[in-house]
Copies of this chain bind each other. A is one copy, B any other.
Amino acid sequence: MGPLHITDRHELSYRDQHLDVDFEHKTALLDAKPLGLTRKEYDLLALLVQNAGEVVTRETLLERVWGYSNQIRTRTLDVHIRRLRKKLGQHNSAYIETIFSVGYRFQPFRAPRVVQRLAPAMALGA
Contacts and interface: CB of A to CB of B under 8 A. Distances in A.
Contacts of A121: 17
A22 B111 contact: no
Interface of A: 3, 13, 15, 17, 20, 22, 25, 27, 29, 32-34, 38-39, 54-55, 100-101, 111, 113-116, 118-119, 121-125
B22 A116 contact: yes
Prevailing SS type, chain A contact patch = loop
B122 A34 contact: no
A37 to B, nearest CB: 11
Contacts of A54: 25
A39 to B, nearest CB: 6
